[in-house]
Amino acid sequence: MNDLTLLKPDLILTVNEDFDLLENHALLVERERIHRILPNETLDSLPQLAGAEIVELPGKLLMPGLVNAHTHAAMSLLRGLADDLPLMQWLEGHIWPAEARHVDRDFIEDGVRLAIAEMLRSGTTCFNDMYFFPDTMAQVCQQMGMRSVAGLIVLDFPTVWAQNADEYLSKALAVHDELKEYPLVSAAFAPHAPYTVSDAPLEQIAIYSSELDLPVHMHVHETRFEVDEAVKQTGERPLERLDRLGLVNPNLIAVHMTELEEMEIERLAETGVKVVHCPESNLKLASGFCPVNKLQRAGVTVALGTDGAASNNDLDLFGEMRSAALLAKGVSGDASACKAEQAIRMATIDGARALGLDRQIGSIEEGKQADLIAIDFAHLDSQPLYNPVSQLVYALNSRQVSDVWVAGRRQLTAGHFTDIDPERLIHQARQWQQRIGNP
């Protein structure tokens, strides 16, 4: 990899505070970082560019890589196993039994590799994971050059990863220490949900999160059934309980949040909790509607996630952007809700902010990591190009992602992987299909 790379697109969408869309500019990358944004007319006068690799990107828009703020990457191997079912029937009748039979380190490694390839191909350069064997997930990400946040999973009940909450927490701390050796991978505590983790481990997580300044990534208020059952059994709504346990603070990444009252939205804004909206998974499982417009108006950071491929059934964040924008309009009855710019921010800088990575990624600014994607607008369905920002959300197909860089390393060139063998991944996925489909 050349120390200096000069990228020359037609347009640069910075997603900085002013959301600058630049014409006739180039981007200079030095190793893994964005060095400078340069007007094209100045390039000939800069002697430092003499040794730079020049990458011409005609007809393309350069923008920050997308941030998938909630997924279960290895569950790509369970894609399509059980469809058209409500959440608890899907989990209890199909997913949990399949996991008990098949999940091991090989499953995680192959599933994460498949997911990374799918995400890179569709423009995602960072994802926030929650699943078993987070150490294996992290190793695969580092090997493949994919930025990620490893979810340090915690549950009350035994699984292939741990037998009880104490063991989950002990392993979580060990993996957190191990990740210090992985430049592309950070950590977050990942208690699964209020209904699967009891008070004592949640209180311990709150303490560790504060001491280590680690995010807490958790499914919260995913369905009305979850909230109603919590009230019936404990007299508290789940968010109220988490608040009592010390978890409602800026480190909390609350995923789904389809059932929220006005006072809860105010509390989220007051405490700096981040919300992750998974529109397509929630629609498919009939889980409800996250009140995105109300949250954004209140000042709550809302990021985007795909959820796992087992319930989505893809990991395409461009699809989520469009679904999020359209759904926000339909739910609120306001056509100006979640405008195209807001949807793009949700999938980039707000995702980075939710993960505590906004100083490193999420926008094209000098000094940040060079996590970048190029979009090819030379397609019939992208013409005419009156408004590139609008087209990104309402007309773009993720197959128009032509080039991808993570930390300055080129992962996709003109639509083709640089280091990944897709045929090998397909072969491995079919082997798992035969194994899982024939118990």
Length of the chain: 439
> What is the separation of C-alpha 56 from the centre of its chain, rounded to a whole number of angstroms?
29
Predicted pLDDT at 91: 87
Cα 107 from Cα 148, distance rounded (Å): 18
Going by C-alpha positions, the residue among 114, 194, 208, 121 that lies closest to residue 155 is 194
Cα 195 from Cα 192, distance rounded (Å): 8
Asked if pLDDT for residue 438 goes beyond 70, the answer is no
Predicted pLDDT at 146: 98
Predicted pLDDT at 44: 85
Cα 302 from Cα 324, distance rounded (Å): 11
Cα 333 from Cα 63, distance rounded (Å): 30
Cα-Cα-Cα-Cα dihedral sign, residues 47, 51, 57, 62: negative
Predicted pLDDT at 424: 97
Q: What is the pLDDT of residues 371-396, one digit of tens each?
A: 999 999 998 988 999 999 999 999 99
Cα 17 from Cα 272, distance rounded (Å): 19
Amino acid code (one letter) for 318 = F
Predicted pLDDT at 88: 85
What does the pLDDT average to over 348-356? 98
CB-CB contact of 419 with 1 (8 Å): no
In degrees and rounded to multiples of 5, residue 256 shows phi and psi of 90, -75
What does the pLDDT average to over 264-286? 97
Beta strand 401-406 with 66-71: parallel, antiparallel or unpaired?
unpaired
What does the pLDDT average to over 167-181? 97
Asked if pLDDT for residue 343 goes beyond 90, the answer is yes
Q: H or E stretch including 91?
A: none
> What is the separation of C-alpha 189 from the centre of its chain, rounded to a whole number of angstroms?
15
Asked if pLDDT for residue 32 goes beyond 90, the answer is yes
Q: Which two tokens stand for residue 185?
A: 């991978």
What does the pLDDT average to over 75-88? 91
Predicted pLDDT at 124: 98
Q: Which two tokens stand for residue 308?
A: 């796992």
Average pLDDT, the chain: 96
**pTM as predicted:** 0.97
Cα 401 from Cα 57, distance rounded (Å): 12
Strand order of the β-sheet with 147-154 is: 66-71, 124-129, 147-154, 185-191, 216-220, 252-256, 274-277, 302-304
Specify the higher pLDDT residue, 438 or 169: 169
Going by C-alpha positions, the residue among 220, 219, 237 that lies closest to residue 228 is 237
CB under 8 Å, gap of 24 or more: what pairs does 413-419 form?
417/117, 417/120, 417/121, 419/144, 419/145
3-class state of residue 251 by DSSP: coil
Alpha helices in 256-300 (DSSP H): 262-271, 279-284, 292-298
Half-sphere exposure of 274 (CA within 13 A, CB side): 25
Cα 4 from Cα 31, distance rounded (Å): 6
How many other C-beta atoms are found inside a 10 Å radius of the C-beta of residue 243? 18
When pLDDT is cut at 50, 70 and 90, the band that residue 368 belongs to is very high
Amino acid code (one letter) for 219 = H
Cα 193 from Cα 173, distance rounded (Å): 19
Indicate the DSSP class of residue 52: P
When pLDDT is cut at 50, 70 and 90, the band that residue 2 belongs to is low
Specify the higher pLDDT residue, 96 or 292: 292
Which domains are assigned to the chain? 4-64+370-417 (2.30.40.10), 66-354 (3.20.20.140)
Strand residue runs (E) in 3-52:
4-13, 21-23, 25-30, 33-39
Indicate the DSSP class of residue 245: T
Predicted pLDDT at 381: 87
DSSP secondary structure string for all residues of 164-210: SHHHHHHHHHHHHHHGGG-TTEEEEEEE--TTTS-HHHHHHHHHHHH
What does the pLDDT average to over 285-309? 97
Beta strand 409-413 with 401-406: parallel, antiparallel or unpaired?
antiparallel
Asked if pLDDT for residue 59 goes beyond 90, the answer is yes
Predicted pLDDT at 50: 81
What does the pLDDT average to over 317-345? 97
Predicted pLDDT at 358: 98
Strand residue runs (E) in 359-400:
372-376
Q: What is the pLDDT of residues 82-127, one digit of tens each?
A: 899 888 898 899 998 999 999 999 999 999 999 999 999 999 999 9
